[in-house]
Structure 1
């Protein structure tokens, strides 16, 4: 039995059926290239005849040079018709793809209720449609919709559907848990039965309605399935599809199957976050393997242990999937947390334990005031670097003003910012669709002439939390800002009884941190050169 698993990604098709997800043709092109670099074997792009975006995507994808097989999606021919005359099937052929997936009914209840046809006609629809693809030279995958429900209700008919598709030439028989209600033990037993009955390559396509899509996919592989269909971050209809970001590393690192190369596996976290950014959907921080908190440690006992050996509280090395270990610092932190975080930043802390204690006390005092550094790594890094004299003042904020005006029923926000860079003072103003957006625009407008790199990153999330609800409108608020440059994300925090001031603090820290990420000498020299202060 081979240990190679074929990864079939349907983020661009099934994933887009998730609530709140809409991808343009350009978005789909960008994601397809990222998926191809990850090393998936099939990229399902959508239905080439269903809408203008998918038609444009398939046209443009021809020139991408993908190593993965670009796959089109469709359904079996209509009842009482001919496959050659089915417009959907014809458009699949005309799209020029090397492979296609056709979905067909395998649950007799669906045949009678949804298709309103006979069991015999459903079999003919499947046979004719698969045969049409094969006669036109395509690799054909048959998605047996509702297969596990169908098998439990009428196993003989469900198996006859698979045998019919296999006899028509289907290269893969994909068993679908379309309603997501089957349990892992049932999946394993039914896949085992299918393999006993039919000598054909088996795939698995699960949904997450019982939070079991990943477990069900793994159970199917253990029973002999050799293709796994899923989406990045588990996007999909209702509760989502099987999450490939959990399936791929589990198969490869825990179960000794080959899915992608080790180098490609290291791009998994970056791929997950990139797709999340393009889809404009925030990733859960606790998402397995690729989440921001997947390898985060907060308790002092935990941190003390992982400083000795990370295996004490990490099931794999985070670098294997392109993630990294994070030490969270909060009011629960011990000295180990501070030491570990400072050492991670390359700061020399061993010689000055009193300073470490002072910093720890300062952080706890700030958290008592309402700051939360476990969710704002960038602000914490700036604080530690300042404490150890490791920061360079790249710009200084002199002042800012905020104007809000309502004219003819429309709210207009305008921010005026005064900053200084290397002794040069800059005033600038900008409008925005709200006070925070106006401040962000004004600050960037003032700095971009000195640091053009600012255009490469942007604010990706903004959260406001009221700290003391009992104080009503006078309560303190905590603002968390997340920024991104497509390859990484960072978070900063601000606290004040004035939401504008708290937002400003978080915004300024976000930009300071991003610029700090560049070489300090490079930043300073480039800045001076732009100001004409460097002799050539």
Structure 2
């Protein structure tokens, strides 16, 4: 089995994605996580870009990295300037990373129209820049920007540019599909040509503008490239980069290449969600391998088959990438889904109970509920229908008050009165809005009795109008996504009153957390 080098550029190329902004601490935390899993190279940022990247290169030197090596990114020297006088190359040198990645022009269009230099000067810029950094004791990776467009328009010149980098001492030349417009057959032909033209090994760096970045990456590896560049979750400029999560999973599990530390593929789901959290981005539910819907089954025929033989509708076992199977429940699903969902509780042999659960699901979905997006609420529903549900607390009363002060700023206050373990708790809390105030009051009342609720966090809050013909009196569905330090779950509430719908979803979230911590939702032995 061939070993593939994994080069992560989440901290540089990924941060160029719309809405992505990592703090210095975020970048250091992601670096530690990638090192832990065995990523070979981590591109920390643009050496000359900003103060944050400069501080990153300083702080990362103090980290006790076990495997990964840090790279600084920069461009070839400017035209008609000596390499030793070029501020960008000096910044690369002063970043003090063991590896420097230098990007240069491969497409003659960019040489003549963007840089406004002749071909000879462009080749000299590449050669001088690589040679300078090698002489300064740095290992150099050369990123051949727009290589595939350049090869398609002027193959002879494109190959001359990567030959210049290789001859000047680059230890690897990475071929970049910068515009993301090349298809796999074009990748294969251009990689073959590069492999025959230079001695240095090849890497592949694909953007996803044609939605084939991962396929292109795999094709390049099959044609002889030995390094994959990309970002976690495929974040990046425009349509993003090759998703390293999918690329690694495919290369290791489907193509039998080696990558990362042994056993690290099992942590890909965890890594994906970790980066989403630090980037303050919502999880992409349909993301291959690691998305929450990647192994979700809704249609009754599918579920029936999966119950008998999981591989009939799953291309891998979800656990090998750290994910899990989901059986979705709706009025379309039928008895097979209910049976599958209740198997872990040893309830699936009770035909009458299965019938009662399905009837209750159909009744609630008619009223506007959707349990496929709220599995935690469905687990609680099972307990209620099976008559094993005992509420952890009882609502006696709540009130939410919103008013503006003299500056016309809204002030929100919630009052909650609960019965908890036989005691009455009557508390008041403020919040940024009615739901936040209710959440704060609920926690304030319950945490003395249930201190584990300190770890409960609200991750996402969604509202959807169910019957739009009702106008402002329409029924609404609220879905709340919550998490603690072990798990993420979703709950649902439906009402014509958005505050009541939110309350119902909040209560389910808290109840699920408390039942879960008591081991109530663990599979039966």
SS in 2 for 1:266: helix
C-alpha displacement at 1:391, in angstroms? 4.5
Q: Residue 308 in 1 paired to residue 308 in 2?
A: yes
> Which deviates more, 145-154 or 115-124?
115-124
Aligned to 1:198: 198
| Alignment-derived partner of residue 381 in structure 1 | 379
Deviation at 1:456?
2.2
How much does 1:150 deviate? 0.7
Residue 43 of structure 1 pairs with residue 42 of structure 2: yes
**Aligned-pair distance for 1:453?**
2.8
The answer to whether residue 31 in structure 2 is matched with residue 32 in structure 1 is yes
Counterpart-to-counterpart distance in 1, 2:323 and 2:212: 24
Distance 1:64 1:182 in 2: 38
Equivalent residues in 2 for 1:75-86, closer than 5 Å:
75-86=75-86
Counterpart CA distance in 2 for 1:196 and 1:449 is 70
Match of 1:471 in 2: 470
Matches within 5 A, 1:361-400: 361-400=359-398
Alignment correspondent of 1:254: 254
RMSD: 1.6
- Cα distance per residue 1:68-119 (max 9 Å; x no partner): 1111111111111122222222222222211121111111111112212221
Counterpart in the other structure of 2:17:
18
Q: Which residue is 2:236 aligned to?
A: 236
TM-score, length-scaled by structure 2? 0.96
Contact 2:205 2:230 in 1 (8 A): yes
1:254-283: CA deviations, max 9, x gaps?
Answer: 111111245210000011011111111112
Q: CA deviation at 1:487?
A: 4.6
Residues 392 and 520, structure 1, Cα contact 8 Å, conserved in 2: no
Cα pair 1:274 1:487 within 8 Å, conserved: no
| C-alpha distance in structure 2 between counterparts of 1:18 and 1:176, whole Å | 17
Report if the CA contact (8 A) 1:277-1:486 is conserved. no
Q: Residue 342 of structure 1 contacts residue 348 of structure 1 at CA under 8 Å; is this kept in 2? A: yes
How high is the TM-score relative to the length of structure 1?
Answer: 0.94
CA 1:194/1:455 → structure 2, altered by over 3 Å: closer, same or farther? Answer: same
**Alignment map for 1:364-443 (pairs within 5 Å):** 364-407=362-405, 408-443=407-442
Instruction: Identify which range, 15-24 or 457-466, moves more after superposition.
Output: 457-466
Residue 315 of structure 1 and its aligned partner are, at CA, apart by 0.4
What's the offset of the Cα at 1:136?
2.1
Deviations 1:179-200 (A, max 9, x none): 1111110001110111122222
Post-superposition CA distance 1:362-411 (Å, at most 9, x none): 01110111000001111111111333355553333322110010223211
Question: 8 Å contact 2:356–2:385 — kept in the other structure?
Answer: no
Q: 1:154 to 1:290 in 2, by over 3 A?
A: same
Structure 1 position 212 matched with structure 2 position 212 = yes
Q: 1:330 to 1:266 in 2, by over 3 A?
A: same
1:530 is matched with none
CA contact (8 A) 1:175 1:205 kept: yes
Q: Distance in 2 between matches of 1:56 and 1:449?
A: 42
Aligned-residue offset at 1:427: 1.9
Q: Which is further off, 453-462 or 471-480?
A: 453-462
User: Displaced runs of 4+ in structure 1, greater than 6 A?
Assistant: none
Residue 56 of structure 2: aligned partner: 57
Question: More displaced, 211-220 or 439-448?
Answer: 439-448
Shift of 1:132: 1.8
1:319-362 CA-to-partner distances (Å, cap 9, x unmatched) read 01000011111111221211111123xx1214421011101110
**Which is worse superposed, 51-60 or 361-370?**
51-60
- The 8 Å contact of residues 42 and 69 in structure 2, kept in 1 or not, is answered as yes
Q: Secondary structure of 2:170's match?
A: coil
Distance 1:392 1:91, change over 3 A: farther
| In 2, Cα distance between equivalents of 1:465 and 1:404 | 22
Distance across 2 between alignment mates of 1:208 and 1:390: 50
2:275 counterpart SS class: helix
> What are the residue-to-residue correspondences of 1:281-296 with 2, within 5 Å?
281-296=281-296
Residues 262, 320 of structure 1: 8 Å contact kept: no
Q: Which residue does the alignment assign to 1:444?
A: 443
Give the 3 Å change call, closer, same or farther, for CA 434–5 of structure 1 in structure 2.
Answer: same
Give the drift of 1:463.
0.8
Instruction: Tell me the number of residue pairs that the alignment of Structure 1 and Structure 2 aligns.
Output: 518
Q: CA deviation at 1:60?
A: 1.9
* Partner Cα separation in structure 2 for residue 470 and residue 483 of structure 1: 31
Deviation at residue 473 of structure 1 after TM alignment:
1.1
For structure 2, which runs of at least 5 residues remain unmatched after alignment? Answer: 521-525
1:487-498 matches, cutoff 5 A: 487-498=486-497
2:343 — aligned with what? Answer: 343
